[in-house]
A and B are shown apart, each in its own frame.
Chain A
Amino acid sequence: MQHDLKRPHGASDVTFSGVSRRKGNKMGLLSILRKLKSTPDQEVRILLLGLDNGGKTTLLKQLASEDISHITPTQGFNIKSVQSQGFKLNVWDIGGQRKIRPYWRNYFENTDVLIYVIDSADRKRFEETGQELAELLDEEKLSGVPVLIFANKQDLLTAAPASEIAEGLNLHTIRDRMWQIQSCSALTGEGIQEGMNWVCKSVNSKKK
Chain B
Amino acid sequence: MKHFLRVVTQFFVFLYCKCLWRGLKFVVRRLTGRCELQRICYNNKPGARRTLKIESSMRYSKYELLQSALSIHPDKVEKTINDIMALKKINPDTNPQLGISLQASLLQIVGYRSLMAAVEKLRREPYDCENTEHENMLMKLWKELRPDTPLTGRISKQWCEIGFQGNDPKTDFRGMGLLGLQNLLYFAEHDKPTALQMLQDSLQPKHNELNNPDWEQKNPDKAIGYSFAIVGINITDLAYSLLVSGALKTHLYNVAPEMPSLQHFQQTFCYLMQEFHRFWIEEDPSDIMEFNRVRSKFHRRILRQLKNPDMALCPHFAASDLHLVNM
- What residues make up the interface of A, taking CB atoms closer than 8 Å to B? 52-53, 68-73, 75-78, 96-100, 102-103, 106
Contacts and interface: CB of A to CB of B under 8 A. Distances in A.
A103 B160 CA distance: 18
Contacts of B240: 70
A184 B158 CA distance: 32
A75 B227 CA distance: 8
28 contacts: A53-B165, A53-B166, A53-B174, A68-B175, A69-B175, A72-B174, A72-B175, A72-B233, A73-B174, A73-B233, A75-B226, A75-B227, A75-B230, A75-B234, A75-B288, A75-B292, A76-B290, A76-B292, A77-B289, A78-B292, A96-B165, A97-B230, A98-B160, A99-B223, A100-B289, A102-B222, A103-B288, A103-B289
Nearest to A77: B289
A70 B287 contact: no
A100 B221 CA distance: 11
Contact of A70 (B176, B289, B291): B176
B123 interface: yes
B291 A76 contact: yes
A38 to B, nearest CB: 34
Contact of A71 (B166, B175, B227, B292): B175
A70 B171 CA distance: 13
A103 B291 CA distance: 13
Contacts of A68: 175
A72 B237 contact: yes
A53 B171 contact: yes
Interface of B: 123, 160, 165-166, 171-172, 174-176, 180, 221-223, 226-227, 230-231, 233-234, 236-237, 240, 287-293, 295
Contact of A76 (B166, B172, B288): B288
B28 to A, nearest CB: 44
A76 B280 CA distance: 14
B166 A52 contact: yes
Dominant secondary structure at the B interface: helix
Contacts, number: 70
A97 B289 contact: no
Nearest to B124: A69
B292 A70 contact: no
B278 to A, nearest CB: 17
A71 B288 CA distance: 18
A77 B292 contact: yes
B287 A103 contact: yes
A60 B108 CA distance: 38
B288 A52 contact: no
Nearest to B221: A102
B312 to A, nearest CB: 26
A69 B124 CA distance: 9
Given A76-B290, A97-B165, A102-B221, A71 B231 contact: no
A75 B291 CA distance: 6
A77 B237 CA distance: 16
A76 B165 contact: no
A98 B230 contact: no
A76 B123 contact: no
Contacts of B165: 52-53, 73, 96-98
Nearest to A53: B171
A78 B288 CA distance: 12
| Chain A to chain B: the 8 pairs with minimum beta-carbon distance, closest first | A70-B175, A76-B291, A75-B291, A53-B171, A71-B175, A97-B165, A52-B165, A76-B289
Contacts of A102: 221-222
Question: Which residue, A69, A76, A97, A103, has most C-beta atoms of chain B within 10 A?
Answer: A76
Nearest to A106: B289
A197 B236 CA distance: 36
Contacts of B288: 75-76, 99-100, 103
Nearest to B235: A72
Given A72-B174, A76-B291, A77-B292, A97 B227 contact: yes
Contacts of A53: 165-166, 171-172, 174
B230 A73 contact: yes
Contacts of A73: 165, 172, 174, 230, 233-234
Given A75-B231, A99-B288, A103-B287, 7 more contacts: A53-B166, A53-B172, A72-B175, A72-B176, A75-B288, A75-B291, A99-B223
Contacts of A98: 160, 165-166
B234 A70 contact: no
A124 to B, nearest CB: 10
B154 to A, nearest CB: 14
Contacts of A52: 165-166, 171
Nearest to B231: A75
